[in-house]
Structure 1
Amino acid sequence: MDGKAKRILAAVSIPSFLIGTDFTGAMLLVTPIEQEYSVDITTTQWVLNAYALTLSMGLVAGGRLGDMLGHRRFVLIGLAIFLFASLACILAPNVTALIVARALQGIGSALVWPCILALAATSVEEDERAQAMGILMGTVAGGNVLAPFIAGTLAEFGDWRGFFVFNLVFALIAMVLIARFIEREKEHNTDEAVDLAGMAVLAGGVFCLLFGLDVGADNGWTDWVTLSLFAIACVLFVLFPFIEKAVRDPMIPVSMMRNHQFVRTLALNGLPAIVLFLCLLYLPQYMQKVLGWSIFWSAMGMLPLAVVVASMNLAVGNYYNSVGPRKLMSLGHAFLMAGCVGMLFLQTSWGYLALVPIMVLVGLGGGLVFGPAGTAAVNAVGAKGAGLAGGLSFMFHLGLGAIGIAFATSMMFLSATRVVENALAAATIKLGSQDIHTLAAGTLKDPAVAAIIDRLSSKDAVTVTAAVRDSFAEGLHTAFWFGLVVAAVGVVVSLSVDEKKLKTEPEQT
């Protein structure tokens, strides 16, 4: 790898790391945001969902625009939007403004990610692409796992807005490096167009699905609003392939949809993200709610996962050609399964040390899958389609991860509600449905939960306090049953990959 390629990789690694931090870092800020704006978890969840939705749905458009008008140009435009949105997050007067600003951050990231992936893939020789992609996926995955530590530290010693100050500063640094070390491209694919119709249909389907899971957790799964949202989502998902066949430049080209190896690699970019996001979202909460740790120390507690994932992602690119992506990804999903099994047997009395081997297993699994899956997606279509392939691979990484978290959260909330209801019934404590909802969804530090407990007698308060703590532990087990199934599916899909078909030449695509 020559000096120019190394400079380009160094420059694009900064925004790659930044994008990696932005989704998972916000996971640790849900509780302080909820407390500041006096809203519940169903509302603050959209601080995550809004970003995931606009990012995942806009990635392909970002890749297209980069292919048409220049990757360097749209990296800089995307970073400028991201910078402005970060400032809007810092100044947000209410949760609605924060959600809108987060959606804008997602748009900025959607322009940046596929373009830096294309810059990295085309800056090196073909036999060096796996190493380059491994470095880039290593930085984004490293951002994924280091973000809770960054956000927790800033929230503990300052304010949750400090995390978005971090976003702003890094976006500015990235803009300077990209402008300094990457030259403007001289050739573009000027005959392409952005598939706005396909993007709108797919985004609408994902939005209805996520919103349906949100409403269903609150109003019940047989509620007419919940069923209507799921029905609309199904209709839009069914309609999407027909839209793609009708438009001139589809969001997902028909040739790519028919490329079974590429479709498998897309799934393998998303399935491991579900298990990783489960750990990043719920393990810090476990440390806070069950072990009684502060936000800072719960973030520090995630370092074993952060170190293992980042190290594996940086190292695994060197083994892509010699070992092969199928073996790497199959082994990675097997490690993810082992981590989920460990969570199923976890007892609250075991303390923090019981979490360490689980985090190591999940870190090994994620590190073995993320880099090879991203590289395989690009290799399945060739270098000329790197921007689009990169956009689609990260769309599935974040999109499936967000949908999986929404499913797991709904299952977790139902399980937690059942535990609270059973504890109240056994102690003959009568509370309204809204109070039960608050206890199942909240923490012992939440003002709303504390207000309910303060109304009770000392004996009943002890019972309800134990129920809130136990409900989270039980819900956690339910969520990781889902993670175990996802990881098992990942093993099956990995074994079905045909490595010989992951060397498609650009002109054949």
Structure 2
Amino acid sequence: MERDSIIKVIALMVTAFGIGIDFTGALMLVPAIENSFDADITSTQWVLNIYALFFAMTMVAGGRLGDMYGHRKIMIIGLSLFLFASVMCFVSPSLDFLIGARALQGIGAGCVWPCTLAFGATRVSREEHRAMVMGLILAGVTTGNVFGPMISGFVVNLGDWRLFFLANVVFSCISMATAVLLMQRDKTHRTGEHIDFAGMGVLSFAVLLLLYALDVGSDWGWLSVPLMFLFFLSASLFLLFPRVEKRVKEPLLLPQMMQNPQFRITLGLNMFNVSAAFVGLLYFPQYMQKVLGWSVFESALGLAPLTVLLAVGSIVSGTLYNDFGPKRLLFWGYLCATIGAASVVVMPAGLGYFQILPGMALIGLGATLTVGPSGTAAVCAVKPERAGLVGGLSFMVHLVYGAISVACATAIMYMVSLSRFREHLAKAGIDMSQADQKAINGGTLTTKTAQAVMQKFSAPEAEKIKSALSMAFDSGMDMAFVFSTLSVSIGLVLALMLDEKKLHKIES
């Protein structure tokens, strides 16, 4: 590549690095946030899910706004929102306030990311360099994924998880400086574009209601009338979405694109590759902290087999894309991820860290071979002026399904762990109320609520309760990965169905 192109790619990688730090770094803060706000995992999962949802639902609009008004301009606006939201996260007085600030962070990131991808896809002088550039941008994100947990561990060891969001502020400022100084203004824009706010709103509310229903299911009762009503409303909105799309001028899913069966398969391949990785990023650190007793920083280092493979592999998959094509990369990637998720379930619990080590490595390798190629295949299937739209669309389905996967896995994990916890308590001869069981199930014993529960029992009983909680958490995590295994295996089938010769340029 020419020197000018290399400089632009470095600038894009810096921006991607800042986004990558925020995502995995926030995951590592979950136990500390539980302690700070006296919450449990079903509540604190929203720190991840609300960010992923708003990130996902903003990306298509962000990509189209970039196509209309200039990717550089929308990127700077998005970075400004992200910077403001990071400050709000730092000063959050409550969990609800923090979740709201994370939603705003997601909106900012949703404006930045598709424009970053579009820059990579359209500012390369030679067509054969496109896949490599996309791989380098993804490497910027995944390198941030590696350093994010380490930054989280460091600030938690300092005694305040809020300091992590100051790192967001620093990298947002650096990214804005590189965008202003190194990225050229767009010379051509698409005119007459329309943004499908109606479709975005219907789909967002459908997903939000589904996530909320999965969150409160254990408290309300899975067969309760209010919960069934929430599921009904969510399903109704999902069914309404295609009808809304037929009436708007320019829908989220352009008919020209969706008429190509191979493009639809590619979108599916962007979805299912995320299930094992998202669930692993949430539960592997918690397993290390809640079951193995590791510190946040030790857990960040323990997560390295997953995060380092993601970072290194993004570069490798970008260079392999042209040589091997997406079909082979996606098939082997999905196969690795499926085996990795299944290994977490079948490995004996007594192995400790080695129970999850093979799974982390294989899930990381699987994500390496699927995330980049599936996104690149989708972006390369359209004309350059549609790169922002499709870049946002492919990652929208990626993150929306990721949020749904985490919510489903957490609901399964909570139900199974609560059931196993009750069984272990009964075997130990400990009488604990159902309210107290729910209060400490799946969480950390250092919250105020958990400490109040534990004070009701003698020291020997407390040790038995801690042991019961660890075994219950392990059982719940196993069932969460059963869900992930089934989910990722769908992608394996889609990879076999992909026909590269028919993945053609779409007239749009």
- TM-score for the superposition, normalised by structure 2: 0.96
Shift of 1:427: 3.8
For residues 40 and 158 of structure 1, the distance between their equivalents in structure 2, rounded to whole angstroms, comes to 20
* Residues 145, 311 of structure 2: 8 Å contact kept: no
Shift of 1:436: 1.3
* Residues 62, 111 of structure 2: 8 Å contact kept: yes
Shift of 1:367: 0.6
Matched to 1:412, the amino acid is M
Q: Partner residue of 1:395? A: 396
Q: Partner residue of 1:111? A: 111
For residues 371 and 289 of structure 1, the distance between their equivalents in structure 2, rounded to whole angstroms, comes to 32
Q: Partner residue of 1:2? A: 2
Shift of 1:144: 3.2
1:231 equivalent to 2:232? Answer yes
1:491 equivalent to 2:497? Answer no
Q: Partner residue of 2:270? A: 269
Matched to 1:58, the amino acid is T
Shift of 1:87: 0.7
Shift of 1:314: 0.8
* Residues 92, 98 of structure 2: 8 Å contact kept: yes
For residues 260 and 175 of structure 1, the distance between their equivalents in structure 2, rounded to whole angstroms, comes to 39
Q: Partner residue of 1:77? A: 77
Q: Partner residue of 2:128? A: 127
Q: Which moved more, 1:348-357 or 1:129-138?
A: 348-357
Shift of 1:38: 2.1
Q: Partner residue of 1:290? A: 291
* Residues 153, 299 of structure 1: 8 Å contact kept: no
Q: Partner residue of 1:215? A: 216
Q: Partner residue of 1:171? A: 172
Q: Partner residue of 1:90? A: 90
Shift of 1:361: 1.3
Which deviations, in whole Å up to 9, do the C-alpha atoms of 1:264-290 show, x marking residues without a partner? 222222212111111111111111111
Q: Partner residue of 2:57? A: 57
Which deviations, in whole Å up to 9, do the C-alpha atoms of 1:275-320 show, x marking residues without a partner? 1111111111111111111111111111122222211111111111
Q: Partner residue of 1:99? A: 99
Q: Which moved more, 1:315-324 or 1:424-433?
A: 424-433
Shift of 1:251: 1.8
Shift of 1:188: 0.8
1:429-468 alignment to 2 at 5 Å?
Answer: 429-468=430-469
Matched to 2:252, the amino acid is M
Which deviations, in whole Å up to 9, do the C-alpha atoms of 1:355-399 show, x marking residues without a partner? 333222111111111111110011222322110110011112211
* Residues 290, 348 of structure 1: 8 Å contact kept: no
Matched to 2:450, the amino acid is V
1:43-442 alignment to 2 at 5 Å?
Answer: 43-124=43-124, 125-442=126-443
Change (3 A) 1:145 1:270: farther
For residues 439 and 160 of structure 1, the distance between their equivalents in structure 2, rounded to whole angstroms, comes to 22
* Residues 67, 385 of structure 2: 8 Å contact kept: no
Shift of 1:503: 4.1
Matched to 1:384, the amino acid is E
Shift of 1:423: 2.0
For residues 2 and 65 of structure 2, the distance between their equivalents in structure 1, rounded to whole angstroms, comes to 28
- Give 3-state SS (helix, strand or coil) of 1:381's partner: coil
Q: Partner residue of 2:501? A: 500
For residues 159 and 74 of structure 2, the distance between their equivalents in structure 1, rounded to whole angstroms, comes to 33
Q: RMSD value over aligned CA atoms?
A: 1.6
Q: Which moved more, 1:432-441 or 1:54-63?
A: 432-441
Which deviations, in whole Å up to 9, do the C-alpha atoms of 1:188-241 show, x marking residues without a partner? 112101111111100000000000101112222111221111111111111111
Shift of 1:459: 4.2
For residues 255 and 430 of structure 1, the distance between their equivalents in structure 2, rounded to whole angstroms, comes to 62
Change (3 A) 1:391 1:19: same
Matched to 1:423, the amino acid is H
* Residues 35, 446 of structure 2: 8 Å contact kept: no
For residues 142 and 231 of structure 1, the distance between their equivalents in structure 2, rounded to whole angstroms, comes to 41
For residues 208 and 491 of structure 1, the distance between their equivalents in structure 2, rounded to whole angstroms, comes to 29
* Residues 13, 139 of structure 2: 8 Å contact kept: no
For residues 151 and 498 of structure 2, the distance between their equivalents in structure 1, rounded to whole angstroms, comes to 36
Q: Which runs of 5+ in 1 are unaligned?
A: none
- Give 3-state SS (helix, strand or coil) of 2:273's partner: helix
Which deviations, in whole Å up to 9, do the C-alpha atoms of 1:400-431 show, x marking residues without a partner? 11110110000000100101111233344332
Once the two structures are aligned, what percentage of the paired residues are identical?
44
- Give 3-state SS (helix, strand or coil) of 1:441's partner: coil
For residues 219 and 256 of structure 2, the distance between their equivalents in structure 1, rounded to whole angstroms, comes to 41
For residues 261 and 14 of structure 2, the distance between their equivalents in structure 1, rounded to whole angstroms, comes to 33
Change (3 A) 1:279 1:181: same
For residues 147 and 499 of structure 2, the distance between their equivalents in structure 1, rounded to whole angstroms, comes to 33
- TM-score for the superposition, normalised by structure 1: 0.96
- Give 3-state SS (helix, strand or coil) of 1:65's partner: helix
Q: Which moved more, 1:36-45 or 1:365-374?
A: 36-45
- Give 3-state SS (helix, strand or coil) of 1:356's partner: helix
Shift of 1:354: 4.3
For residues 407 and 224 of structure 2, the distance between their equivalents in structure 1, rounded to whole angstroms, comes to 18
* Residues 155, 163 of structure 2: 8 Å contact kept: yes
Shift of 1:158: 4.2
For residues 43 and 362 of structure 2, the distance between their equivalents in structure 1, rounded to whole angstroms, comes to 32
Which deviations, in whole Å up to 9, do the C-alpha atoms of 1:1-23 show, x marking residues without a partner? 22222111111112212222322
Q: Which moved more, 1:130-139 or 1:231-240?
A: 130-139
Q: Which moved more, 1:185-194 or 1:457-466?
A: 457-466
- Give 3-state SS (helix, strand or coil) of 1:312's partner: helix
Q: Which runs of 5+ in 2 are unaligned?
A: none
Change (3 A) 1:500 1:482: same
- Give 3-state SS (helix, strand or coil) of 1:134's partner: helix
- Give 3-state SS (helix, strand or coil) of 2:12's partner: helix
- Give 3-state SS (helix, strand or coil) of 1:200's partner: helix
Change (3 A) 1:465 1:212: same
Change (3 A) 1:503 1:321: farther
* Residues 145, 280 of structure 1: 8 Å contact kept: no
For residues 14 and 117 of structure 1, the distance between their equivalents in structure 2, rounded to whole angstroms, comes to 13
Which deviations, in whole Å up to 9, do the C-alpha atoms of 1:90-114 show, x marking residues without a partner? 1112222211111111110111111
For residues 255 and 240 of structure 2, the distance between their equivalents in structure 1, rounded to whole angstroms, comes to 14
